[in-house]
Amino acid sequence: MPVHIVAQGWSEGVDALPGGWTVVKTLPVFGILYLLKWYFNGAVNVSERNMHSKVVMMTGGTSGIGAEVAKGLASRGAQIVFLTQHSLTDPFLVDYIEDLRTQTDNELITAEQVDLASLHSIREFATKWVDNLPPRRLDMVILCANTRTPPGGKATMTEDGLESTWGLNYMANFHLLSILSPALRAQPPDRDVRIIFGTCSSYMGGKLPESTMPAKSTNKKGKDAEPESIPFTPASVYATSKLALMTFALAFQKHLSSYDRPDKKPMNSRVMIVDPGWTRTPGMRRFLTFGSLWGLFLYLIIWPFWWLFLKSADSGAQTFLYAAMEAQYGRGEGGWLLKECRKIDFLRPEVEDEGVQKKLWEVSEQTIQKLEKEGAKRRAAEKKAAGKEKKTEGTATGKQENGAAKQRKAK
């Protein structure tokens, strides 16, 4: 028994115990490792809220931090609606939802197919959601979808011609919420509606395009400046996308708060921005491995180091759960930045600058309108070309059938 062993060591000395000194020397090492792990895991959410009947719309909810957030909310009874690029019949998605339903004992978990890399796909979904009468219940929108090009990687483009990091991390969220705005405003006044953005501390190194800065918003002819392309490096574009997202988040809070409700009640939608900290997610692994096999090999070799100093996905999800459930965020003006389950200050003045917010919104809106028009023309041309090809194939088939009929007749 441990008590007898301790008693023997106490009375006869450590030398009397087999391997006694080894244990004595090892214990401080394990103690230090435990304290380091405890520290780097960060704060733990202790707030609770009745999530039954709450409808939560999520992006990025099938992997990494988003998957843990979805699991935490679903286990508390929330109805989860995933926005995913996967087909609704995709075996991965079907199995994932079934497993989550089983783990959380919650059948109210569904998905909608939305490709965040396509402005057209976002508009189709969001317009359908908004056009529903009566307005569908929506208690929470959690934006966890995120992408990052590995260091040294080349820029990739969305189907609309946007650089992928900028397009998915910022423009997709701007487009989605801009269209969903009426659905958020239409929620009953007694409903606590929360919009939670995921960000990263790298936003401090971002630089917004010059066309979004009020002092340089017009050209010599007085016309609105065209949004120029952002010089591409993986780190700078990622940081800029997060800076723009946070700036838009505060602008969106002002947009919601300025709405004059028909019932004259105060606006009940509040925006929060969450920085989960450095976490072992698929995106982080891709970043650390440079997106290469040799990088993955090195990552596996020093995995104990990453395990010690990086949070698990569950630990990274704690501040999201705190933002979703902490009672104090059910009132107030919104627009808070949260990290380690507490409010912190913004470290870039652009985020809170109303002039920058307004100009960023205008430029983003103009860019989307332009790209959507181009996309509509492209789809129309593709549809027309497909129709011509089908018609040509039909004509060729008809000629072959007529020729065969004539040959049979001649015989």
* Catalytic residue numbers, as ranges: 242
One-character DSSP codes across 221-265: TSPBPP-PPPPP-HHHHHHHHHHHHHHHHHHHHHHHHT---TT-P
Task: Give the helix/strand (H/E) hosting 197.
Answer: strand 193-198
- Angle among Cα 92, 97, 98 to the nearest 5 degrees reads 100
Answer positive or negative: Cα dihedral of 293, 295, 301, 303. negative
Main-chain dihedrals φ then ψ at residue 141, nearest 5 degrees: -125, 120
Three-state SS at 193: strand
Q: Token pair for residue 334? A: 């919104």
Residues 66, 82 contacting (CB under 8 angstroms): no
Burial class of 321 by CB neighbour count within 10 A (0 to 12, 13 to 18, 19+) = buried
Q: Spell out a b/e string for 257-280, using b for 16 or more CB atoms within 10 Å of the CB, else e.
A: eeeeeeeeeebbbbbbbbbbbbbb
User: Which residues are registered as beta bridge partners of 193?
Assistant: 269
- What three-state secondary structure class fits 82? strand
Q: How far apart are CA 355 and CA 137, in angstroms?
A: 33
Is the separation of the CB atoms in 66 and 73 below 8 Å?
no
